[in-house]
Structure 1
Amino acid sequence: MSERSAAPGGLALVESLVNTLDLATGVDALDTAEGRARLGVREAELPRARELRESLRATLLVHAGRPPHRAVTPLGELFARAPLVVAVDDRDGSARLVPAGTGSLLSRVAAAVAEALVAGTWTRLKACEADTCHWAYYDRSPAGRRRWCSMQVCGARAKMRRYRAKEG
């Protein structure tokens, strides 16, 4: 639904995971082998991947200034189970958090969020405020106050509803 390019860095993984479920149609890409393969999710991990997706969506709604649409497991509680290690580059001494071991989806997402926190981009990843959408998008607006994934679709619908409410 978004009219912009993918989120930067590891946030593209977070955006992709949240956008595996189209709330308007109910289509869930995680229901297909191809959709799971794109994110490296095994079928046995589906319940945890879906739980993580909805916790991320709730947090992205908060980034957009909206309360979450339903109760979910707090993201911090999920990240507490994500095994991460500090990797240090011997050439320049830089350090970053990376998934430990084989890198579960949870660990890869936690590492992406940690990277985005350091870069100052985490709160720019938001969920569309339209109740039938909640699509994840990266807010590239100068002020960081974008509210919809697409001004041409969700934004236009919201403005038309407000206009009609004033007329009636």
Structure 2
Amino acid sequence: MSERSAAPGGLVLVESLVNTLDIESGADSLDTAEGRARFGLAADELPRARELRESLRAALLAHAGHQPHREVTPLGDLLAKAPLVLTVDEQDGSAALAPADVRPLLSRIAAAVAEALVAGTWTRLKACEAVTCHWAYYDRSPAGRGRWCSMQVCGARAKMRRYRAK
């Protein structure tokens, strides 16, 4: 679990959805009414939300140069189903992609990914390489080569394992 600051812009939504599951303990905050309320989810939307979460995690692992450990629906296939609209501000002419419907999580995630692509921040959102973690974090390292959500926890564990293996 990370002590790092949250991801910028709409990526905070992606980061917080991926981090609803603590892989090490198995705790899933989407199992609670409060956890579902954070994302505007009804109980019947949970299977799709979990599918989206794991597809996002797989993409974030790919950003860090790793393969997912199980088969997931490709993120592109899910996001292709997200209804978005292009909005244009009449005052200043600025344009943005927005969810066609405010409630569906898929559309909000698609808009956040599109915003991050334009901003150049999408590939900086990664998943920790520790198999027992895979926590989403925003890589703020100068070279963009961060590997762990936390150097003090996951990074230290990995380095200690490597040291002991010698």
Category of TM-score, reference length = shorter chain: over 0.9
Please list the CA deviations of residues 56-97 of structure 1 after superposition, one character each: whole Å capped at 9, or x if unmatched. Answer: 000000001111121100000001110001011111111111
TM-superposed CA distance for 1:99, in Å, is 0.2
- The residue number in structure 2 matching 1:92 is 92
Runs of 4+ aligned structure 1 residues displaced above 4 Å come to none
Identical residues among aligned pairs (%): 81
Q: Which runs of 5+ in 2 are unaligned?
A: none
Cα RMSD (Å): 0.7
- The residue number in structure 2 matching 1:143 is 143
Q: Secondary structure at the match of 1:113?
A: helix
Distance 1:136 1:54 in 2: 11
- The residue number in structure 1 matching 2:10 is 10
- The residue number in structure 2 matching 1:22 is 22
Between Structure 1 and Structure 2, how many residues are aligned? 166
- The residue number in structure 2 matching 1:118 is 118
TM-superposed CA distance for 1:119, in Å, is 0.3
Q: Are the equivalent residues in 1 in contact too, given 2:101–2:107 (CA < 8 A)? A: no
TM-score with structure 1 length normalisation? 0.97
Please list the CA deviations of residues 95-116 of structure 1 after superposition, one character each: whole Å capped at 9, or x if unmatched. Answer: 1110002341000000000000
TM-superposed CA distance for 1:163, in Å, is 0.6
Q: Are the equivalent residues in 1 in contact too, given 2:40–2:103 (CA < 8 A)? A: no
Distance 1:103 1:34 in 2: 16
Q: Which runs of 5+ in 1 are unaligned?
A: none
Distance 2:55 2:69 in 1: 11
TM-score with structure 2 length normalisation? 0.98
- After the TM superposition, which residues 22-101 of structure 1 pair with which residues of structure 2 at under 5 Å, given as runs? 22-101=22-101
TM-superposed CA distance for 1:5, in Å, is 1.1
- Paired residue type of 2:120: G
